[in-house]
Amino acid sequence: MNDFKNLFSGNKEPLILSVKIKTSAGENKIIEKREDGTWKIAIKAPRENGKANLELIQFLSKISGIKKENIEIISGNSQEYKKIVFNPNK
């Protein structure tokens, strides 16, 4: 998880990451960075009515230190693969 946190250390520019989400997990956690650069992330919330997306944004905000209002899912809203933009200066 430290590799993930280091992405945001001192970064002032928007950053777009590809993630694969595993929903209904036992805990929220960064599982791994895959060979293709995609981050695999476990989220406790189920994939229904946007619950997993909301919890994903809250979790990413907590570990990145970026306000949740500055984190946005830009593609894959209803899919397990998503592109997420982190904008620390928004």
User: What are the tens digits of pLDDT across the range 48-62?
Assistant: 999 999 999 999 999
pLDDT for 8-29, tens place per residue? 777 788 999 999 999 999 999 9
Express as a percent the part of the chain with pLDDT over 90.
81
| Domain residue ranges in the chain | 2-86
| DSSP E strand boundaries for 3-89 | 15-22, 29-33, 39-42, 71-75, 81-86
User: Residue 2 pLDDT more than 70?
Assistant: no
Is the pTM above the cut of 0.75?
Answer: yes
Residue in 40, 20, 17, 45 with CA at minimum distance from that of residue 30: 40
pLDDT at residue 1 in the model: 58
Query: Domain 2-86 belongs to what topology?
Result: Conserved Hypothetical Protein Mth637; Chain: A; (3.30.1200)
d(CA 71, CA 55): 12
